[in-house]
Structure 1
Amino acid sequence: MFDREREWAALTEFATDPQPGALLGVVSGRRRQGKTFLLRSLCQATGGFYFPADEAADRESLNQIGARLAEHVGAPAPLAFDSWHQAIDALLSIGRDRRIPVVIDEFPYLVRANAQIPSIIQNALAPLRAERDQSRSSILLCGSAMSFMGRLLSGNAPLRGRAGLELVVPTLDHQLAAQFWDIEDHSTALMANAIVGGTPAYRREFARNDTPSGPDDFDAWVVRTVLSPTSPLFREARYLLADEPDLRESGLYHSVLAAIASGNAHRGGIASYLGRKAGDLAHPLTVLEDCGLVTREADAFRENRTTFRIAEPLVAFYHAVMRPIWSDLEHTRDTGRLWQRSRRRFVSNVLGPHFEQVCRYWTRHLAGPEVFGDYPNRVSSGTVNDPANRTSHEVDVAVYGLDDDNRQPLLAIGEAKWGDIMGLGHIDRLRRIRSLLIAQGRPGAESARLACFSGAGFTDELRTAATADTGIVLIDLATLYRAG
């Protein structure tokens, strides 16, 4: 098990809770994050019951859980259930003598065949019900369909208010992903992270522990793992969309993702790319957001403007690099040539935006208060209007704090460049943006620090200026990958 101490501690605490009565917990997260591994390990360590649901008819699922439960309790023959009322009560009964975890994995498959199951579980766990009060089963419902799992405990859902645990198993961040993939070179680590992200299964099961040994091996690694039609990673991005039950018009959702991957981060740009009205995109964008495939971020300086980004790196790589040449990738014998043709698109549409996102993540979650003068409370990108020059300026990293009066003073503004050696010209640009924010009367702008994030380094002149001026902050790859 790699870096799942928090999740393991939460699960073991839930599975050994000393209080009387049955408990309910929900475990979710995108596929390939290790949820099943955690839950199987929990059941093995505690003697718990684990049931992996299949895509099956309701009757077959009842038969399957009856057979599994019979094995668990040592019954001579499979248990026969006429309904899920009986099956859930049977799961409660195995916890009469002691606290025991009861896991139903891939729970959305069961509900797809029988939409009443959440209500049945709600009724089974009703207060003052003897079967619930006399049981010490810790029922854990697990699933990877993020839109479905997100609704399970929300609003007027039957199970709202019933769960004592809601655990989301996240992907590994860029630092942990580098450790997991055993990549020591920071540049190689970030380039690999821009493609496969922090999904653990992509290394062990999908790439069979094939990792890029360094910068000179990166291109060859992409060709032999991600772009090879014989590799599971080749079609994984398409399967991720197919796994989401709410994505019924797959063509539309692929097109929306392609628009974002092409650099259209705002609703108007996406609509123009698709040849549709901006209002027509509200539903597909919301569905993609609920599925965890797209994130929505408010502009740092204009609250009425929203930026959309693809949350899963492999999906962004697929739509920016693979989808435009899909037929060639399937049939060519010279994948290396196709990759070299696509490499510029990878750098501009995938690697550059991913580097910016890593910089924002590091600033928000990993940077100490000494870097920007206080703890960052909100970090996003934004656009600042420059009326005098009739233009606007993009800010890659805008950092806000939080004071004792719940005000959010601006702590810093920053620019992130993956392939450029940054110099004094970048600081001059940030100073101009800061002067515009001061003129707007934005709190904290006068003392806001100027931050340069670079994957290629800084000129000697800029380093000298940063040494003399504590208001200039330089963050390189070594800093982004330094353990906090």
Structure 2
Amino acid sequence: MFIDRKTELSALIRRFHSEKAELVILYGRRRVGKSELTDQFISQVGGIRLLAREESKHLQLKRISSELAGFFQDDYLLHAPFPDWDAFFVYLTKRGDKRVVIAIDEFPYLVQEDSSLPSLLQYYWDTALGKTHLYLILSGSSIGLVESQLMQYKSPLYGRRTGQILLKPFRFIDFYPYVNDLRTAIILYAIFGGTPAYCLIDEPFLDLEEIVCENLLMEDAFLYRDVEFVLRMELKEPRYYYSILLSIASGNTTIGLIANDCGLEKGLVSKYLATLADLQLIRRETPVLSGSVSRKGVYLLNDNLFSFWFRFVYPYRKEIEMGESKYVYRENIAPQLSQYIGRRFEEIILDVFYLFNSQGLFPVRFSDIGRWWYKEQEIDLVAVDPKSDTILFCECKWQDNVHVEKIVQSLKKKAVLVKWGTSYRKEIYCVIGRSCVPYQEDETIIFYDLDDLEKMIRACLNPV
């Protein structure tokens, strides 16, 4: 199933209609949908996707020759495969008299077998391929390898690419239409995140215990080991990284806390955190309005499935492999699940607010929004509009019968600690809950339950 990716697909199509040769780098984590995006693009404009594999150079060239021979209906190439990569690039140059898309999937596998390949491509791009109508796509699942081999300054191909797309997991608002039920979508997204291969559950309306057990808590389940596969692909010393990711998932979000929990030196932890951030497995978050260099930053896992796996799967592998999946779910996951989803609920609402802001459905046309904290005080979301000197304070509760009045009173006490705007600034208080105890709204107090949010989301995604 292919959903969304409209922005990335339109970018690829737009470049197809240019008059020049294109060399596009498409990369992102395993399972994020690079191959599917490429296939969708090729289905519209024509072309071929060549899948590289971890095998000898001889077998790589033989298989690519066979696939190109079939695509171009070239009997000679079928019986006389490329002897080396030079012959491959010469062949592409001859076929580049017309617009043709050649996509090489998992290009780093070819480079690992022959490290001279980027230099060869540089030579042929500069002397021949760059003057053709060829549309070349190089893709890879190891973010670190793609950036080092193809995009960094020391790479032979530096400056040759005409475009790049870092394919990221779906945002919540991209995932929601697949389920089309807000409560179910929130729960599934909080657990499985936005990676297509993870979150596109075949039967999303099954019992939640069954969904989690079948997909995560069985030794033969697809997702039981996939997190490990991703980490092993990217990291050379996984044991230290595992310790750090497990620590963050357990609630240790500062360098000091992580170092103490893992028994590692702070300098070493900082180095590992930088690597994980480069791979987009974690992010550093600072209080809104404080600036990105604030010393109050905390580290959080970037992917909901990774958060769930390290918190609820990794610590109980022994029990899972003994066939006790239902016990693990009922004793260790179910009692904490609401709290776990609640933290992701804040991030989901942030994404929903970005959608509302773009459509003008929000009381504040904010220029900045995010979580705010100071010492022991925290506000789930603070949004500001400098043009109107307006600030909004929001609390998100993954609970039923949320008492709006009590939360608003608490927000007002914390609001005085948020230093922003003039002394005459307008303050708006917002409460989000699964359901809310009715309360009189005015221009400074608003509240939404899931029904309200769902109506507004559908209005944004399906405008009349």
Q: What's 1:110 paired with? A: 110
Q: Distance in 2 between matches of 1:384 and 1:445?
A: 22
Q: 2:223 aligns with which of 219, 224, 233?
A: 233
Question: Residues 86, 401 of structure 1: CA spacing in aligned structure 2 closer, same or farther, 3 A cutoff?
Answer: farther
Q: What's 2:437 paired with? A: 459
Aligned to 2:362, the other structure's residue is in SS state helix
Q: Distance in 2 between matches of 1:105 and 1:223?
A: 33
Q: Distance in 2 between matches of 1:261 and 1:436?
A: 29
Q: Distance in 2 between matches of 1:166 and 1:253?
A: 28
Q: Distance in 1 between matches of 2:89 and 2:130?
A: 10
Q: 1:357 aligns with which of 347, 352, 356?
A: 347
**Are the equivalent residues in 2 in contact too, given 1:364–1:377 (CA < 8 A)?**
no
Question: Which sections of structure 2, spanning at least 5 residues, go unmatched?
Answer: none
**1:306-455 alignment, distance < 5 Å:** 306-332=297-323, 334-342=324-332, 343-348=334-339, 350-367=340-357, 368-374=359-365, 376-385=366-375, 392-401=376-385, 403=387, 411-419=391-399, 421-437=402-418, 440=419, 446-454=425-433
Question: Which sections of structure 1, spanning at least 5 residues, go unmatched?
Answer: 386-391
Q: Distance in 2 between matches of 1:111 and 1:212?
A: 43
Question: Residues 327, 95 of structure 1: CA spacing in aligned structure 2 closer, same or farther, 3 A cutoff?
Answer: same
Q: Deviations over 1:420-477 (max 9, x none)?
A: 624322212211121122xx465588323222222x32222xx21xx13x22232333
Q: 1:195 aligns with which of 191, 197, 214?
A: 191
Q: Deviations over 1:175-212 (max 9, x none)?
A: 332322x352x2222111111122222366xx5x1222
Letter in 2 for 1:138: Y
Letter in 1 for 2:90: D
Q: Deviations over 1:251-276 (max 9, x none)?
A: 11111111111112222222222122
Q: Distance in 1 between matches of 2:46 and 2:79?
A: 19
Aligned to 1:230, the other structure's residue is in SS state coil
Letter in 2 for 1:28: Y
Aligned to 2:411, the other structure's residue is in SS state helix
**Are the equivalent residues in 2 in contact too, given 1:411–1:447 (CA < 8 A)?**
yes
Q: What's 2:236 paired with? A: 248
Q: How many residue pairs were aligned?
A: 447
**1:39-438 alignment, distance < 5 Å:** 39-73=38-72, 74-76=74-76, 77-96=78-97, 98-126=98-126, 129-133=127-131, 135-151=132-148, 152-180=150-178, 182=179, 184=181, 186-202=182-198, 207=201, 209-213=202-206, 217-244=207-234, 247-302=235-290, 303-332=294-323, 334-342=324-332, 343-348=334-339, 350-367=340-357, 368-374=359-365, 376-385=366-375, 392-401=376-385, 403=387, 411-419=391-399, 421-437=402-418
**Are the equivalent residues in 2 in contact too, given 1:384–1:395 (CA < 8 A)?**
no
**Are the equivalent residues in 2 in contact too, given 1:449–1:471 (CA < 8 A)?**
yes
Question: Residues 312, 203 of structure 1: CA spacing in aligned structure 2 closer, same or farther, 3 A cutoff?
Answer: closer
Q: What's 1:3 paired with? A: 4
Aligned to 1:448, the other structure's residue is in SS state strand
> What is the TM-score normalised by the length of structure 2?
0.87
Q: Deviations over 1:318-349 (max 9, x none)?
A: 101111111101112x422220112233333x
Aligned to 2:342, the other structure's residue is in SS state helix
Question: Residues 341, 78 of structure 1: CA spacing in aligned structure 2 closer, same or farther, 3 A cutoff?
Answer: farther
Identity of aligned residues (%): 23
Aligned to 1:436, the other structure's residue is in SS state coil
Q: Distance in 1 between matches of 2:404 and 2:180?
A: 29
**Are the equivalent residues in 2 in contact too, given 1:410–1:443 (CA < 8 A)?**
no
Question: Residues 327, 164 of structure 1: CA spacing in aligned structure 2 closer, same or farther, 3 A cutoff?
Answer: same
Letter in 2 for 1:49: I
**Are the equivalent residues in 2 in contact too, given 1:320–1:346 (CA < 8 A)?**
no
Shift of 1:45: 4.3
> What is the TM-score normalised by the length of structure 1?
0.84
Question: What is the CA RMSD across the aligned residues, in angstroms?
Answer: 2.6
Shift of 1:106: 0.7
Shift of 1:82: 4.5
Question: Residues 110, 305 of structure 1: CA spacing in aligned structure 2 closer, same or farther, 3 A cutoff?
Answer: farther
Q: What's 2:22 paired with? A: 23
Q: Distance in 2 between matches of 1:201 and 1:140?
A: 22
Q: Distance in 1 between matches of 2:253 and 2:37?
A: 36
Q: What's 1:388 paired with? A: none
Q: Distance in 2 between matches of 1:331 and 1:52?
A: 37
Shift of 1:80: 4.0
**Are the equivalent residues in 1 in contact too, given 2:253–2:298 (CA < 8 A)?**
yes
Q: Distance in 2 between matches of 1:140 and 1:445?
A: 54
Q: Distance in 1 between matches of 2:337 and 2:89?
A: 50
Question: Residues 44, 301 of structure 1: CA spacing in aligned structure 2 closer, same or farther, 3 A cutoff?
Answer: closer
**Are the equivalent residues in 2 in contact too, given 1:147–1:287 (CA < 8 A)?**
no
Shift of 1:299: 2.3
Letter in 1 for 2:394: G
